[in-house]
Structure 1
Amino acid sequence: MRNVDAAGLGIGDDYPPRIMGVLNVSKESPYKPSVFDDAGEAAEYVDRELIDEGADIVDVGLESANKKFEVLSAEDELDRLDTAIEVVESVSGDAVFSIETRYHEVAEAALDANFDMVNDICGFADPKMPEVCDARDAAVAKMASPPDLERPGAVEDVDDIYEALKLNGITDKTIVDPAFGGWSEAKTLEDDRETFERLREFRGFGQPILVSINRKNFLRDVAGRSTEEALPVSLAATSMAVERGAHVVRTHDVAETRDAALIGKRFARRRVREAGDVDVEELDVTSVSEARRHVDRVGGDADAARHATTRVFELTGLDSEEKGALRAAATETTLVLVEGDDGTSLLAVGTPVAFENTATAVGGVSGALDAALERITESSR
């Protein structure tokens, strides 16, 4: 996993989770406590409510990305940029300042002023965006999006989200964002939940991951909470996201999110980074699809992913004939069987390939065993 230096702030596995607080200078933004049109008041808010509460990064939005509103042009955003620059100049605290935009012209002007990084909500739909960031050695968060400057984050299927993040490449300092939230009418809460469940797959880019899940509908719906009541579900998801590999959490609730992120980091998988002259990293892989992302990244044979994970299943209720068939198949398929002393349960340990080959070898012995192995092979993929 590549670490990214964002104006001196380290982001990646080797660093604590980073908290991105939010400031909006867009009157149409729905979260009113973060919206300001007076630079002095905005600077006070940033110091008091964001930096003092633990924000490492302050993300300044020039317009709402809500699909209900008309998209501003680059010229419109540039008109608002002066206020954002004035805010940055007026802040007394220390943080990395990020400009949220979809246009390279705005990113260029912001980086040439007092901003440190870019949050591109259209995922390099503007093909000049990576050039601008690369030329200024700036970190850039790249949110998955269709190749359309008017449709940020409107990708539903997880595989398509992954492919969207490949659009127009990735700079050395790119942070990938799988784009949680209702960016289109077609995108459902289940789409977001599946993306969250498969969050580890985005580690396959080898780049840090940003998540923006604060009080999102796909979490609120689980607990039946309103936006105002949704902080607890956001914090639970924050810990899970960091444990699954997220490095930056974008939020309006800075202090609470920081604490939740630190818990997630503390109980995340330990990854070995150095071993003498050889760097060693244990990849965070729990499924075939997660393994496949890493295999693709190094240009390997996709079938190797089916050998990359080991699963353990406990089977109970097998009769002696069924157990015998499994034992015979295991000698040929590398499946490992562990039988309990009481004779009622059996542990089956192996790769997806081992389970598939075993299912083929014992097919027809009994309908119950066939059904059990079919369920196992489905869940092992």
Structure 2
Amino acid sequence: MRNVDAAGLGIGDDHPTRIMGVLNVSSESPYDPSVFADPGEAAAYVDEELIDEGADIVDVGLESANKRFEVLSAEEELERLDTAVQTVESTSGDAVFSIETRYHEVAEAALDRGFDMVNDICGFADPEMPAVCEEYDVAVAKMASPPDIERPGAVEETPWAERKSAEWTESADYVDQVYEALRQNGLTDKTIVDPAFGGWSEAQTLEDDRETLRRLREFRALGRPTLISINRKNFLRSVADRSTEEALPVSLAATAMAVDRGAHVVRTHDVAETVDAAKIGDAFRRRLVADAEVGVEELDVTDPGELRRHAAAAGVEIDPEQRVRRALRVTGLDEAERERLEAAAAGTDATVAGADGALVIGTPEEITDLAESVEKPALTDALSRAATRSR
């Protein structure tokens, strides 16, 4: 899993969950407490209600992404940028400032004027967006979307038969589409992936969002940190039959679950409470063994679907009935070491496969035996520790 540096803020497995507070300078935005037109009032809100309550990142929106409103042009977004910039300049607290936009022109102007990262709600539908983010060497959150700058999050509207195949389109479910939408148009080294929770299209259902949360670990196979935005969302409210005003408890419960399943950034309007929920998720999530020095990373795999994602990312075909035990990614092997691993796996149910590094799958006992076949003590130790880690 690649860690991302966002203006000095570490995001990823090696860091605590980061909290992204929200500020809107758009009159269309649906959450009134976070909407401001006056930079002084906006700055006070950012300092007192976001940063002081624990926000690591402040995400500033220039327009509402609600599909009921007309999409602003890049020029119209730029007209609102002054308020956002004046807010950042008037804020006394310490945070990473993110500009939410779908246009590379707006992202570039915001980065030139003091912003630290980008939140692209259209998933690089603007083909120049990745290049701008790479030029400025900034973190960028990429939300799963079709290649349409006017349809953020509406992954079902992607022409999948053209982009993948008719056969794939026929068999793919909603989570498959979200995963592939995040892969479309590539990922920068500092991309953070966002699975697009919420009613972004008429076709998206509450069960689609619930299934995405159930299968959140699958997105770890993309090798990038994950951002979630689930605060008071309808797919949670409907489970407990709560209004938006009553939905904070269900949001906090889901936040702790999401952190356990791999969320690294949580976008929220309820900062102080979400900080606590994220701390609970961090305290009780699975502790994976990772040793970058010798190239061993335990993968967060709990079911066959998650294993298939990692196998596909490694270019490995596995038995669809492959039983889940432990899964490790091993890099930096020389040819002799790899051959010894493969030989040790022969005749067992363990698997060693993959061109770019080795994907190692097996029981703790099998992986321990494999580890003993590598004549490199540090690697043997790392493999053994990962194999025998307590669940």
Indicate yes or no: 2:324 matched with 1:309. Answer: yes
CA distance in 2, matches of 1:37, 1:215: 24
Q: Which residue of 2 aligns with 1:366?
A: none
| Pairing partner for 1:289 from 289, 296, 305 | 305
CA distance in 1, matches of 2:148, 2:31: 25
CA distance change for structure 1 residues 35 and 310 in 2, over 3 Å: closer, same or farther?
same
Q: Which residue of 2 aligns with 1:27?
A: 27
| Pairing partner for 1:200 from 204, 209, 217 | 217
Indicate yes or no: 2:238 matched with 1:221. Answer: yes
SS in 2 for 1:99: strand
CA distance change for structure 1 residues 29 and 292 in 2, over 3 Å: closer, same or farther?
same
Indicate yes or no: 2:171 matched with 1:155. Answer: no
1:279 deviation in Å? 3.2
Quote the sequence identity (%). 77
1:38 deviation in Å? 0.1
Alignment of 1:116-265 (within 5 A): 116-156=116-156, 157-265=174-282
1:304 deviation in Å? 4.8
How many correspondences in the alignment?
314
Cα deviations by residue, 1:223-265 (Å, 9 ceiling, x for unpaired): 0000000000000000000000000000000010011011001
SS in 1 for 2:59: strand
Counterpart of 1:309, as a letter, is V
CA distance in 2, matches of 1:292, 1:5: 28
1:112 deviation in Å? 1.0
CA distance in 2, matches of 1:285, 1:220: 28
1:274 deviation in Å? 2.0
Indicate yes or no: 2:314 matched with 1:298. Answer: yes
1:273 deviation in Å? 1.8
Counterpart of 1:238, as a letter, is T
Indicate yes or no: 2:116 matched with 1:111. Answer: no
CA RMSD of aligned residues (A): 1.8
Cα deviations by residue, 1:35-85 (Å, 9 ceiling, x for unpaired): 000000000000000000000000000000001000000000000011101
Q: Which residue of 2 aligns with 1:46?
A: 46
Indicate the structure (1 or 2) with the bigger Cα radius of gyration: 1
CA distance in 1, matches of 2:325, 2:105: 49
Q: Given that residues 214 and 252 in structure 1 are in contact (C-alpha distance below 8 angstroms), is that contact kept between their aligned partners in structure 2?
A: yes
1:271 deviation in Å? 1.2
CA distance in 2, matches of 1:292, 1:133: 31
SS in 1 for 2:291: coil
Q: Which residue of 1 aligns with 2:160?
A: none
SS in 2 for 1:247: strand
1:310 deviation in Å? 4.2
Q: Given that residues 291 and 305 in structure 1 are in contact (C-alpha distance below 8 angstroms), is that contact kept between their aligned partners in structure 2?
A: no
Cα deviations by residue, 1:188-210 (Å, 9 ceiling, x for unpaired): 10111111111000001010000
Question: Which segments of 5 or more consecutive residues in structure 1 lack a partner in the other structure?
Answer: 312-332, 335-349, 352-381
1:306 deviation in Å? 4.0
CA distance change for structure 1 residues 229 and 4 in 2, over 3 Å: closer, same or farther?
same
1:295 deviation in Å? 1.2
CA distance in 1, matches of 2:271, 2:296: 33
Q: Which residue of 1 aligns with 2:294?
A: 278
Q: TM-score, normalised by structure 2?
A: 0.78
1:307 deviation in Å? 2.6
Indicate yes or no: 2:285 matched with 1:268. Answer: yes
CA distance in 2, matches of 1:306, 1:258: 39
CA distance in 2, matches of 1:221, 1:17: 26
Counterpart of 1:170, as a letter, is L
SS in 2 for 1:130: helix
1:104 deviation in Å? 0.4
Q: Given that residues 125 and 167 in structure 1 are in contact (C-alpha distance below 8 angstroms), is that contact kept between their aligned partners in structure 2?
A: no
Counterpart of 2:184, as a letter, is L
Q: Given that residues 295 and 305 in structure 1 are in contact (C-alpha distance below 8 angstroms), is that contact kept between their aligned partners in structure 2?
A: no
Counterpart of 2:272, as a letter, is A
